[in-house]
Amino acid sequence: MNGFLSPEEWTAIGLSLKVSSVATLVSLPVGIAMAMLLARGRFFGRTLLDGLVHLPLVMPPVVTGYLLLLAFGRKGPLGAFFEHTFGLVFAFRWTGAALACGVMGFPLMVRAIRLSIESIDHKLEQAASTLGAGRALVFLTVTLPLALPGILAGVVLSFARALGEFGATITFVSNIPGQTQTMPSAIYALIQTPDGDAAALRLTAISIAISLAALVLSEFLARRVTRGGAA
Amino acid sequence: MTLSIAIRQQLGPFSLDVALETGPGVTALFGRSGSGKTSLVNLVAGLSRPDQGRIVLDGRTLVDTERSIFVPAGKRRIGYVFQEGRLFPHLSVRSNLLYGRWLTPQARRWGGLDEVVDLLGIGALMARMPRDLSGGEKQRVAIGRALLSSPDCLLMDEPLAALDRERKAEILPFIERLRDAKRLPIVYVSHSVEEVARLADTVALIEAGRVAAIGPVGEVFARLDAIGEWEAGAVLEATVLAQDPEAGVTRLDHPAGSLVVPSIDAPIGKRLRIRIRARDVTLAVGEPGRLSVRNRLRAEIVSIGEGRGHDVGIRLSVGGEPMLARVTRDAVRDLELVPGLAVIALVKAVALDGI
A2: in domain: no
Instruction: Tell whether A101 is covered by a domain.
Output: yes
B35 & B182 share domain:
yes
Residues 6 or more apart whose Cβ sits within 8 Å of residue B349: B249, B259, B260, B261, B262, B293, B294, B295
Are B208 and B343 found together in one domain?
Answer: no
Residue A154 belongs to a domain: yes
Q: Is A137 on the interface with B (CB under 8 A)?
A: yes
The pLDDT tens digits of the residues spanning B24-33 come to 889 999 988 8
Q: Maximum distance among all alpha carbons in chain A?
A: 69
CB B7 within 8 A of CB B54: yes
Residue A25 at interface with chain B, using a CB cutoff of 8 Å: no
Residue range(s) defining the domain that contains residue B143: 3-221
Is residue B176 a part of any domain in this protein?
Answer: yes
In this predicted structure, what is the pLDDT of residue B178? 79
Helices A94-118 & A46-58 angle (0-180, nearest 10): 130
What is the reported pLDDT for B225? 62
Q: Is the dihedral of CA A8, A13, A16, A18 positive or negative?
A: negative
The pairing of strands B342-347 and B295-304 is: antiparallel
pLDDT band at A53 (very low <50, low <70, confident <90, very high): very high
CATH number of the domain that B249 lies in?
A: 2.40.50.100
Shared domain for B256 and B127, answered yes or no, is: no
Which residues in chain B have their CB less than 8 angstroms from residue A131's CB? 74, 79, 99-100, 103, 145-146, 149
A134 vs B: CB within 8 A: yes
Q: How far is B58 from chain A (nearest CA, A)?
A: 18
Average pLDDT over residues B123-147: 90
Confidence of residue A3 (pLDDT cuts 50, 70, 90): low
* Residues B25 and B147 reside in one and the same domain: yes
A123 touches chain B (CB under 8 A): yes
**Which tops the pLDDT comparison, B146 or B107?**
B146
CATH number of the domain at A12, please: 1.10.3720.10
Most confident of A170-179, A215-224, B343-352: A170-179
User: Secondary structure of chain B: what % helix, strand, coil (to 5)?
Assistant: 30, 35, 35
A52 interfacial to chain B (CB closer than 8 Å): no
Nearest CB partner across the interface for A231, out of B80, B82, B89: B89
Let me know if residue A40 belongs to a domain: yes
Does B228 reside within a domain? no
Sign, CA dihedral A75-A76-A77-A78, equals negative
Chain B, nearest residue to A227 by Cα: B90
Residue A8 pLDDT greater than 90, yes or no: no
Residue A1 lies inside a defined structural domain of this protein: no
Q: Is the pLDDT of residue B212 over 60?
A: yes
| CB-based contact B27:B48 (threshold 8 Å) | no
User: Beta-carbon neighbour count of residue B180 at 10 Å?
Assistant: 11
Residue A149 CB neighbour total at 10 angstroms: 19
pLDDT band at B226 (very low <50, low <70, confident <90, very high): low
Percent of chain B with pLDDT over 70: 96
Give dist(CA A155, CA B17) in Å, integer: 49
Using 50, 70 and 90 to split pLDDT, how confident is the model at A183? very high
Q: What is the mean pLDDT of residues B86-97?
A: 93
Say if residue B241 is in the same domain as residue B181: no
A144 CB within 8 Å of a chain B CB: no
d(CA B79, nearest CA chain A) in Å = 6
Q: In angstroms, rounded to a whole number, what is the distance separating the alpha carbons of residues B195 and B191?
A: 8
pLDDT number for residue B31 = 86
Helix (H) or strand (E) holding B17: strand B14-22
- B98: pLDDT confidence band, cut at 50, 70 and 90? very high
- Give the nearest partner residue to A129 out of B73, B82, B104, using CB atoms: B73
Question: Looking at the 3D structure of chain B, how many domains does it have?
Answer: 2
Segment A165-190 shows an average pLDDT of 91
Cα nearest neighbour of A126 on chain B: B47
CB contact under 8 A, B131 and A230: no
Q: Single out the residue in B188, B221, B254 at which a domain terminates.
A: B221
pLDDT of residue A177: 87
User: What span, in angstroms and rounded, lies between the C-alpha atoms of A93 and A148?
Assistant: 33
Chain B partners of A224 at a C-beta cutoff of 8 Å?
none
- Amino acid found at B342: A
pLDDT tens digits, residue range B309-336? Answer: 788 888 888 888 888 888 888 888 888 8
Residue B129 sits in the same domain as residue B265: no
Whether residues B175 and B280 fall in one domain: no
Rounded to a whole number of angstroms, the CA Rg of chain B reads 22
Q: What angle do the packed helices A197-228 and A148-164 form, to 10 degrees? A: 180
More confident residue, A134 or B218: A134
Say whether residue B146 is in contact with chain A using an 8 A CB cutoff: yes
Residue B111 is predicted with a pLDDT of 75
B206: which strand partners?
B211
Whether residue A16 has pLDDT greater than 80: yes
Give the span between the Cα atoms of B197 and B218, in whole angstroms: 8
Pairwise CA distance, residues B190 & B160, whole Å: 9
Mean pLDDT in residue range A203-230: 79
- The answer to whether the Cβ–Cβ distance between A127 and B45 falls below 8 Å is no
pLDDT value at B234 more than 90: no
Most confident stretch, A18-27, A148-157, B269-278, B333-342: A18-27
pLDDT given at position B79: 92
- Map residue A13 onto helix, strand or coil: helix
In chain A, residues 158-177 whose CB comes closer than 8 Å to chain B: none
In a domain, A48, yes or no: yes
Is the model's pLDDT at A117 over the cut of 70?
A: yes
The last residue of a domain, from among B221, B246, B268: B221
Residue A162 contacts residue A104 (beta carbons within 8 Å) = yes
B205-224 average pLDDT score: 83
Q: Beta strand B202-207 with B26-30: parallel, antiparallel or unpaired?
A: parallel
State how far residue A148 is from chain B, nearest Cα, in angstroms.
10
| Residue B102, domain CATH | 3.40.50.300
Distance CA A17, CA A10 (A): 11
Same domain (yes/no): B73, B132: yes
Q: Is A102 exposed, middle or buried (0-12, 13-18, 19+ CB in 10 A)?
A: buried
Determine the Cα–Cα distance for residues A30 and A23; give it in Å rounded to an integer. 11
pLDDT bin (cut points 50, 70, 90) of residue A7 is confident
Q: B318 and B207 in one domain?
A: no
Cβ contacts of B78 on chain A, cutoff 8 Å: 130
Whether pTM exceeds 0.80: no
How would you classify the pairing of strands B233-244 and B60-64?
unpaired
Are B80 and A130 a contacting pair at CB < 8 A? yes
Q: Is the pLDDT of residue B231 over 80?
A: no
User: B86 to chain A: which residues are within 8 Å by CB?
Assistant: 121, 123-124, 126-127
Q: Which backbone phi and psi does A92 adopt, to 5 degrees? A: 55, 30
For B163-197, write each residue's pLDDT tens digit.
Answer: 777 778 778 888 888 787 767 889 999 988 878 88
What backbone torsions phi and psi does residue B13 show, to the nearest 5 degrees?
-80, -10
> How much is the pLDDT for B119?
80
Q: Check CB contact under 8 Å for A131 and B89.
A: no
Residue B227: inside a domain, yes or no? no
A123 with B82: Cβ contact below 8 A = yes
Least confident of A122-136, A150-164, A215-229, B115-129: A215-229
Which residues does B242 contact at the CB level (< 8 Å), separation at least 6? B250, B251, B268
Burial category of B291 from C-beta neighbours within 10 Å (exposed 0-12, middle 13-18, buried 19 and up): exposed
| Confidence tier at A1 by pLDDT (50, 70, 90) | very low
Identify the band that residue B228 occupies on the pLDDT scale cut at 50, 70 and 90: low
Is the model more confident about B96 or about B275? B96
pLDDT at B283 > cutoff 70: yes
Q: Smallest Cα–Cα separation from A168: which of A99, A112, A75?
A: A99
User: Chain B closest CA to A140's CA: distance in Å?
Assistant: 13
The domain tally of chain A equals: 1
Q: Does B290 touch chain A (CB under 8 A)?
A: no
Measured between alpha carbons, how far is B115 from B122 in angstroms, rounded to an integer? Answer: 11
β-bridge pairing B52-57 and B233-244: unpaired
- My answer on whether B162 and B248 are in the same domain is no
- Using alpha carbons, list the distances in angstroms from residue A61 to A27, A101, B45, B100, B259: 18, 10, 51, 49, 84
pLDDT score recorded for residue A230: 42
Q: Does B48 touch chain A (CB under 8 A)?
A: no
Q: Is A151 on the interface with B (CB under 8 A)?
A: no
Whether residues A230 and B89 touch (CB distance < 8 A) is answered with yes
In the predicted model, is pLDDT for residue A168 greater than 90? yes
Q: Is residue B208 part of a domain?
A: yes
Mutate to test the interface with A, among B38, B99, B106, B141 (most CBs of A within 10 A): B99
Residue B245 contacts A, CB cutoff 8 Å? no
Average pLDDT over residues A14-35: 95
Residue B215 shares a structural domain with residue B282: no
Shared domain for B176 and B244, answered yes or no, is no
Range of the domain at A91: 7-228
Q: What is the pLDDT of residues A62-85, one digit of tens each?
A: 999 999 999 998 888 999 999 989
Q: Which of B221, B243, B271 is the last residue before a domain boundary? A: B221
